[in-house]
């Protein structure tokens, strides 16, 4: 079938096959943030210093407020002691502007075009709201005559406050009608992460979009699967897409970690903030 690949203004991709969109605008963009979990938002002091209710923790919050003023003292060792206990991973990610990076400069050029393939190289700088460059993303996208899309990506992340990165990967967007089901070869069938995946068996698993989600009390990062060789997102339970055609499949030479979610990380975080306020 005829296919069309477009490279967007921020280095993202849009792929259509036979006039049907498989990847929507912005697919393949660099992703260096995730919706924080409870552990990401906790720290030595912060875990007991968020006054969600009128409890003893509310009084501890005032202690933490006083400690925040001490950060202005000139004693570097004391500042580090305070920061290590009162600043969570999520605080540091927010300070670096990782949730709100935007493409500030992009360069695109076609390096090869013949009857067998087309090769496009892009280079994108991602900057925080304050203007600091936080990431550089370089990509070589090769479209083969058979319709396969090969991506070679290299990313450099430049945090200032973060000592642990939330994520370094790519995000892809598919049409809602085509994202009702996923099949993958890797660990499953339930959610698993690098620190808790031993019980998840390696094999070919399938699940609906609702089954892939994990309903945590406070919405956060979820639906992760480790050790995946490939994943196919389509409309049918057997991995087939709409209209009898195959779904969109992504693979890689090395074991990877992937998530399939209905919402982007920003939407999940807004739901979490809404729960906190209630």
∠ CA 159-164-169, nearest 5°, is 80
Rg (CA), the chain: 22
Contact in structure between 17 and 25 (CB atoms under 8 Å): no
Burial 113-126 (b: 16+ CB within 10 A, else e): eeeeebbbbbebbb
Residue of 148, 273, 144, 169 lying closest to 224 (CA atoms): 169
Sign of CA dihedral 95, 26, 253, 37: positive
pLDDT (tens digit per residue) in 46-88: 444 444 444 555 555 566 666 665 655 554 554 455 455 557 8
Whole-angstrom Cα distance, residue 10 to residue 31? 12
Q: Which residue has the tokens 């009390």?
A: 217
Mean pLDDT for the stretch of residues 83-106: 82
Contact in structure between 166 and 36 (CB atoms under 8 Å): yes
Whole-angstrom Cα distance, residue 161 to residue 164? 9
pLDDT (tens digit per residue) in 28-42: 899 999 988 888 877
pLDDT at 235: 54
pLDDT above 70 covers a percentage of the chain that reads: 72
Q: How far is CA 274 from CA 51, 93, 230, 235, in A?
A: 16, 20, 35, 31
- What does the chain come to in residues? 278
Sign of CA dihedral 184, 187, 188, 192: negative
131: helix, coil or strand? coil
Average pLDDT of every residue of the chain: 78
């Amino acid at each position: 079938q005829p296919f069309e690949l477009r490279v967007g203004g921020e280095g993202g991709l849009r792929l259509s096959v036979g006039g049907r969109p498989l990847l929507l605008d912005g697919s393949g963009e660099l992703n260096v943030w995730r919706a924080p979990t409870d552990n990401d938002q906790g720290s030595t002091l912060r875990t007991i210093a968020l006054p969600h209710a009128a409890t003893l923790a509310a009084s501890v919050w005032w202690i933490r407020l006083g400690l925040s003023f001490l950060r202005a003292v000139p004693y570097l060792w004391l500042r580090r002691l305070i920061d290590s206990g009162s600043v969570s991973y999520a605080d540091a990610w927010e300070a670096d502007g990782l949730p709100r990076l935007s493409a500030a400069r992009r360069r695109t050029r076609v390096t090869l075009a013949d009857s067998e393939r087309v090769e496009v190289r892009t280079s994108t700088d991602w900057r925080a709201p304050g203007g600091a460059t936080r990431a550089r993303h370089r990509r070589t996208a090769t479209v083969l005559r058979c319709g396969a899309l090969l991506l070679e990506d290299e990313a450099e992340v430049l945090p200032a406050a973060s000592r642990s990165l939330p994520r370094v990967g790519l995000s892809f967007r598919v049409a809602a009608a085509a994202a009702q089901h996923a099949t993958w070869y890797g660990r499953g069938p339930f959610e698993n992460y690098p620190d808790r995946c031993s019980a998840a068996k390696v094999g070919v698993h399938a699940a609906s979009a609702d089954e892939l989600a994990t309903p945590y009390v406070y919405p956060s990062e979820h639906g992760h699967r480790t050790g995946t060789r490939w994943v196919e997102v389509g409309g049918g339970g057997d991995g087939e897409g709409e209209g009898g055609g195959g779904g969109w499949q992504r693979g890689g030479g090395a074991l990877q970690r992937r998530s399939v979610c209905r919402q982007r990380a920003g939407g999940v975080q807004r739901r979490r903030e809404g729960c906190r306020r209630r």
